[in-house]
Amino acid sequence: MIPPPETVRVSQRRVACDGATDIPGGAALGHPRVFLQIDEDGYVDCGYCDRRFVLIGGPADHADQSKLPDHPDGASV
């Protein structure tokens, strides 16, 4: 079984990901910044680093993340 992706709970539907938010001095270690839009499924995955953003109170909040399919459709540059 594949472990669930790194999950970040957020309060807004539009989020940005650069893959280096948690790395000290990390912008050079991440990926290009992308903006992601969470849709009615309540979550979106970053196409670069697979980090999952889950809308607090949305349908995917507190769900078993390992059972949800990949959902990178919200990515934009």
- How many of the other CB atoms lie within 10 Å of CB of 45? 23
The answer to whether 42 and 34 have CB atoms below 8 angstroms apart is no
Pairwise CA distance, residues 64 & 37, whole Å? 21
Residue with token string 């196409």: 47
Q: What is the pLDDT of residues 25-47, one digit of tens each?
A: 656 677 888 999 999 999 999 98
Cβ-Cβ contacts under 8 Å for 47 (sequence gap 6 or more): 34, 72, 75
Q: What's the rounded mean pLDDT across residues 10-38?
A: 82
Q: What's the rounded mean pLDDT across residues 48-57?
A: 91
Pairwise CA distance, residues 63 & 20, whole Å? 25
The model carries a pTM of 0.79
